[in-house]
Chain A
């Protein structure tokens, strides 16, 4: 239903909207502009543009290493998260049992617990088990914190789904596994792909928890960027950021095609 009929936007509303949008995009646009400067410090590119800060990335092996670690971490943790989220989502969507609400609350709880607290907890945990510096350990905790995103979108696809096709497949002789793989998984695929992608992005962007457990050998891209930004004067941060902005926009475009961006961002049922 449309709420548009409540009224039309007047000039004051449009002015507000313009300023609001400018506020939202300003930091991103400034970052992109500065990345094309030819100066050795943070400055606008209007008095001399160059690609030197993009070439500078190639001379920063720490950034390149961190990028690949973040990519693998994102791929691995999103895959692990969706693998545990799909069966849990089926349990929550299809069964009524005591403890169902508690299960749901537990699986969504990484959204509520401050990432600083999680970082502290994992630092303590890793040091007790001598897991410090292990990229597998980092992958496991990344998977944990992105489970809520994988779960929410998978659940959204499952809720309200009819079971007729599955039952028909079963009665025609398909095994449980075949009917899951060929019927149910196919039906909820947009939700699964959306959940996986959102989980990947959240893992790729995570900084607050990771900064506590990252060691020189397990520094992710946002953590590396954080340490460079805290020293401020290095324009290579802007070219790396620009690549991250463009990359995210590309992913957003793909996601919009597959599941619809409003589905991912707003979680429309």
Chain B
């Protein structure tokens, strides 16, 4: 039988050269340039100057407005993450119990939207959520509401739509861990007298935790960096980090300040990802081993 892997002999770098060149030239260099830009001085008349300053970071970190922006973004992302766990976990379990024909069908229905443009999905929601939208018409005709409920241009609306966009990621993450759960252990618990709820809580849930946590990291970071959905559903009323960056770059044209906010967003997300990975590794060493 031929060896599947070889010790590196230099050809590995030759093979990766095209990809490496592309990533160096088109990713590392532009990101470094943005980091440098964030230390440049902005002049309303002459645009960004190449003098070095911490001013943009001081502006962002000392201004309550930007604090609120980051806190609102983090709070929203946390909310979306929690709702995705609460809805995604039971749905994944129910999917796993279906006969394979139904399972296949509903996988396509539930995960398929991932491949449809987020602008299209958001447009559908703006039709549903508007003042004369489908949801308000139903609420009023059922006499559940006296007058239209304001959902467009509110945080509630943004959270609903982001939940819709993020749920498939949560389901994928939980599903891949569920595949490793040994059904025999659940059987053993049941035959030893545990009820279905106890079996779920004490036997299945602990094994699913790594999947729930990695799904949560994905959903949290993608929510914090989402742009099109909050911009279209929240509009100018729900200001978030990403929409603020967009405004600095394309309306106020204060590129250095926008770059500083972008760098802080990137650092914040990196911090969350690295931090929670550490936590998962420490907590679940025995599960992964």
Q: Which residues of B contact A100 (CB under 8 A)?
A: 8, 12
Output the least CB separation between B265 and chain A (Å).
6
- Whether the pair B117, A164 counts as a contact (CB closer than 8 A) is no
Given A83-B18, A87-B15, decide whether A6 and B117 contact each other with a Cβ distance below 8 A: no
Q: Per-position contact with B for A139-165: 1 when CB-CB < 8 Å, else 0? A: 011011001000100000000111110
Question: How many chain-B residues does the 8 Å CB contact rule pick out?
Answer: 103
- Whether the pair A6, B183 counts as a contact (CB closer than 8 A) is yes
Q: How far is the CA of A17 from the CA of B231 in the complex (A)?
A: 30
Q: Which residues of A contact B186 (CB under 8 A)?
A: 5-6
Residue on B nearest A147 in the bound complex, by CB:
B19
Binds A, one of B21-29, B61-69, B279-287: B21-29
- Whether the pair A144, B26 counts as a contact (CB closer than 8 A) is yes
Q: How far is the CA of A42 from the CA of B120 in the complex (A)?
A: 15
B139 within 8 A of A: no
Q: Which residues of A contact B96 (CB under 8 A)?
A: 3-4, 6
- Whether the pair A212, B249 counts as a contact (CB closer than 8 A) is yes
- Whether the pair A31, B123 counts as a contact (CB closer than 8 A) is yes
- Whether the pair A205, B116 counts as a contact (CB closer than 8 A) is yes
- Whether the pair B123, A205 counts as a contact (CB closer than 8 A) is no
Given A6-B183, A106-B23, decide whether A114 and B269 contact each other with a Cβ distance below 8 A: yes
Q: Which residues of B contact A212 (CB under 8 A)?
A: 246, 249-250
Q: Which residues of B contact A130 (CB under 8 A)?
A: none
Q: Per-position contact with A for B84-99: 1 when CB-CB < 8 Å, else 0? A: 0001001101111111
Binds B, one of A54-62, A181-189, A223-231: A223-231
Residues from 213 to 257 in A contacting B, C-beta threshold 8 Å: 221-222, 225-226, 229-230, 232, 237-238, 241, 244-245, 248-249, 251-252, 256
| Option from A2, A96, A120 in Cβ contact (under 8 Å) with B183 | A2
- Whether the pair B172, A225 counts as a contact (CB closer than 8 A) is no
- Whether the pair B116, A248 counts as a contact (CB closer than 8 A) is yes
Residues from 108 to 135 in B contacting A, C-beta threshold 8 Å: 108-128, 130, 134
A190 within 8 A of B: no
Given A205-B118, A248-B115, A261-B107, decide whether A7 and B4 contact each other with a Cβ distance below 8 A: no
- Whether the pair A205, B115 counts as a contact (CB closer than 8 A) is yes
- Whether the pair B7, A30 counts as a contact (CB closer than 8 A) is no
- Whether the pair B181, A160 counts as a contact (CB closer than 8 A) is no
Q: How far is the CA of A221 from the CA of B126 in the complex (A)?
A: 19
Majority SS at the chain A contact face: helix
A52 within 8 A of B: no
Q: How far is the CA of A209 from the CA of B226 in the complex (A)?
A: 11
B221 within 8 A of A: yes
Q: Per-position contact with B for A79-113: 1 when CB-CB < 8 Å, else 0? A: 00001110110111111111010010011011011
Q: Per-position contact with B for A17-35: 1 when CB-CB < 8 Å, else 0? A: 1001101111111110010
Question: How many chain-A residues does the 8 Å CB contact rule pick out?
Answer: 102
Binds A, one of B51-59, B143-151, B254-262: B254-262
Q: Which residues of A contact B168 (CB under 8 A)?
A: 265
Residue on B nearest A44 in the bound complex, by CB:
B134
B220 within 8 A of A: no
Residues from 30 to 87 in A contacting B, C-beta threshold 8 Å: 30-31, 34, 42, 44, 83-85, 87
B193 within 8 A of A: no
Q: Which residues of A contact B111 (CB under 8 A)?
A: 261, 265-266
- Whether the pair A88, B255 counts as a contact (CB closer than 8 A) is no
- Whether the pair B15, A88 counts as a contact (CB closer than 8 A) is yes
B1 within 8 A of A: yes
Q: Which residues of A contact B164 (CB under 8 A)?
A: 23-24, 27
Given A120-B258, A125-B29, A222-B119, decide whether A164 and B2 contact each other with a Cβ distance below 8 A: yes
Given A95-B5, A160-B4, decide whether A120 and B245 contact each other with a Cβ distance below 8 A: yes
Output the least CB separation between B94 and chain A (Å).
5
Output the least CB separation between B235 and chain A (Å).
8
Output the least CB separation between A195 and chain B (Å).
13
Q: Which residues of B contact A114 (CB under 8 A)?
A: 221, 224-225, 242, 265-266, 269
| Option from A5, A21, A24 in Cβ contact (under 8 Å) with B187 | A5
Q: Which residues of A contact B78 (CB under 8 A)?
A: none
Q: How far is the CA of A109 from the CA of B13 in the complex (A)?
A: 18
Output the least CB separation between B188 and chain A (Å).
12
Q: How far is the CA of A2 from the CA of B98 in the complex (A)?
A: 10
A-B pairs, 6 with minimum CB distance: A27-B124, A97-B8, A114-B225, A121-B30, A125-B30, A91-B15
Can you list 19 A-B contacts (CB < 8 A)? A2-B183, A4-B96, A17-B106, A27-B123, A28-B116, A28-B121, A84-B19, A95-B12, A97-B12, A109-B27, A115-B227, A116-B225, A116-B246, A117-B262, A162-B1, A162-B2, A205-B116, A208-B228, A248-B115
Given contacts A30-B127, A34-B127, 16 further A-B contacts (CB under 8 A): A4-B97, A27-B127, A31-B123, A87-B17, A106-B23, A124-B255, A125-B33, A140-B26, A201-B115, A205-B115, A205-B116, A229-B122, A229-B123, A232-B126, A241-B123, A245-B116
